[in-house]
Amino acid sequence: SSYDLMIINGLVVTASDIGHYDVAIKNEKIALLAPTGSLAGIEADKVIDAEGGYVMPGGVDAHVHLEEPPLFGKGRSADTYETGTRSAICGGTTTVITFAPQSKDRTSLLSVLEETHKKAENNCYTDYSFHLLLSNPTPSILNEFPNLRNEGISSLKIYMTYEALQLRDNQILDVLLAARKDSITTMIHAENGDILSWMTDQLEQRGLVEPKYHATSRPQLVETEATNRAITLSEIIDTPILIVHVSSPSAATHIRNAQTRGLPIYAETCPQYLFLTRDDLDKPGFEGAKCVCSPPPREGKEDHEGIWLGLQNGTFTVLSSDHCPFVYEDAELGKKSVISAEFPLGRFRYIPNGCPGIETRLPLVLSEARLELSKFVEVTSTNAAKLYGLYPRKGALLPGLSDADLVVWYPPGRLEEWRVRNEELHHGVDYTPFEGRVVRNWPRYTVLRGKVVWERDGVGVLGEKGWGRFLRRGVSSLGGGSKKEAWDVERF
């Protein structure tokens, strides 16, 4: 027949357009968008009636941790590539970018990539790529950057904190200079590691070790200072950076000022900084550990407002999950991995930093109805595809160019609002930090490259692991540096 799949009667929302269109799919690609009703009588193997629900490009989650060694505190990854990407499709995400972690002893980036490929290959329900997670930028490692590009990797992440990962400013300059030469986008975890370890030591000396002190040990200034420093380092080299998981409105203001000066500074935020506060760390027993992530949830409503504003006004390029799944009740290791005889409920410094959220990212944020629909698509899909070299194959519905990755929502008002419960999620984690949060809509169908992989009503997961493919990425299609004002030793 002429099409493989048609999705009719939807309100199609992309980053640039909203309208009543029918979508036709052929050979894994978007073939045609036509005004609603105009495909009547045309043949397709399968037809989905969206009944007026939104039809959007599939979500692109560009910040996901799966099967990493313990780099953020003792604790094992609760999700494999299989369970993590399965959870993703149930929440409308069709592409993930995870991390290929270089621990300090690794001297070859190609072998790190190869190892990560082995974990992902034939196991994914979504399409996928990797960012390099770089912990030891020696000259020979930096010389491997052209190899990364040959392997279809065009981004990496570095850290300004964590013993196993923290880079000094001179090392960051080395990385940025090499990244500029090979048009690699550098993601930066901006927290001042020296300040927060000093604060952690001070708190420990006074016996203040419960989960809530995780937030006390890293106030907003710790993030703001590092964010400013990262911006300065980027300006010196004149190369784009993306500040990951921004939690602080004050850091967001500094980012915005840099953007206003024309610097190529991009920024990401995550649902935890829109929904959680430090009160979520202060719960009876050890429950607060479930919301320990870094940067930490901030003080209150005004902070959330600042982050929403940054999404609305374009300060934030992307909204990712930072899905970083640790088991809470681990048979061997204890609650979020930190139980000891001395501190039966553990000490916050040993709680692995990270929360799950790959499945709840889109429904939680859409349900708040705080973002214009096109803005929602832009920050959860389109911009991630552009920033990381996947556009317009991903993040768009351009006939002939875009993969047929779609999420079909219920018509607004069709579902009664309800509360998120971990039992209903599909990840491998034994909790969600968003337990009890209200949602009003959910992906009804998820389509990956023309195949229905999730149908919520009475069916569930339809996709198969291994249908997800590795995506070779090109350079970012968002702006780079000016290549004029950089400090460059060759100019002197």
Closer to Zn ion by CB, 44 or 321: give it.
321
User: Shortest gap between Cβ of 112 and ligand DUC (angstroms)?
Assistant: 17
Say how far apart CA 178 and CA 451 lie, in whole Å.
40
CA dihedral of residues 360, 316, 155, 273 (deg, nearest 10): -40
Closer to ligand DUC by CB, 294 or 432: give it.
294
User: Shortest gap between Cβ of 190 and ligand DUC (angstroms)?
Assistant: 10
User: Shortest gap between Cβ of 319 and ligand DUC (angstroms)?
Assistant: 14
Quick one: what does residue 427 bind among ligand DUC, Zn ion, none, with the CB cut-off 5 to 8 Å set by partner type? none
Residue 284 CB contacts under 8 Å (≥ 6 apart), including other chains = none
For residue 101, the cross-strand partners are 133
CA dihedral of residues 412, 413, 417, 420 (deg, nearest 10): -30
Structure tokens at 183: 């048009």
Interaction of residue 451 with ligand DUC, rule CB under 6 A: no
Say how far apart CA 355 and CA 351 lie, in whole Å.
11
Residues 2-61 that bind ligand DUC (CB under 6 A): none
The site map against ligand DUC for 236-265 (x = CB under 6 A) is: --------xx--------------------
Strand pairing report for 406-409 and 54-57: antiparallel
Quick one: what does residue 72 bind among ligand DUC, Zn ion, none, with the CB cut-off 5 to 8 Å set by partner type? ligand DUC
CA distances from 453 to 43, 90, 406, 408, 423 (A): 22, 8, 10, 12, 20
Closer to ligand DUC by CB, 61 or 322: give it.
322
Strand pairing report for 29-35 and 59-64: unpaired
User: Measuring CA to CA, which residue among 386, 363, 372, 346 is closest to residue 432?
Assistant: 363
Residues 296-335 that bind ligand DUC (CB under 6 A): 322, 324
**The tokens 């509360």 sit on which residue?**
419
User: Shortest gap between Cβ of 209 and Zn ion (angstroms)?
Assistant: 23
User: Shortest gap between Cβ of 151 and ligand DUC (angstroms)?
Assistant: 22
User: Shortest gap between Cβ of 492 and Zn ion (angstroms)?
Assistant: 35
CA dihedral of residues 146, 149, 151, 156 (deg, nearest 10): 100
* Among residues 57, 354, 363, 481, the one that binds ligand DUC under rule CB under 6 A: 354
Burial class (CB in 10 A: 0-12, 13-18, 19+), 106: middle
Residue 65 CB contacts under 8 Å (≥ 6 apart), including other chains = 77, 98, 99, 322, 323, 324, 325, 354
Closer to ligand DUC by CB, 131 or 375: give it.
131
Closer to ligand DUC by CB, 65 or 86: give it.
65
Residues 142-201 that bind ligand DUC (CB under 6 A): 189
Closer to ligand DUC by CB, 245 or 394: give it.
245
User: Shortest gap between Cβ of 353 and ligand DUC (angstroms)?
Assistant: 4
User: Shortest gap between Cβ of 344 and Zn ion (angstroms)?
Assistant: 29
Residues 58-77 that bind ligand DUC (CB under 6 A): 65, 72
Residues that bind ligand DUC (CB under 6 A): 65, 72, 189, 244-245, 294, 322, 324, 353-354
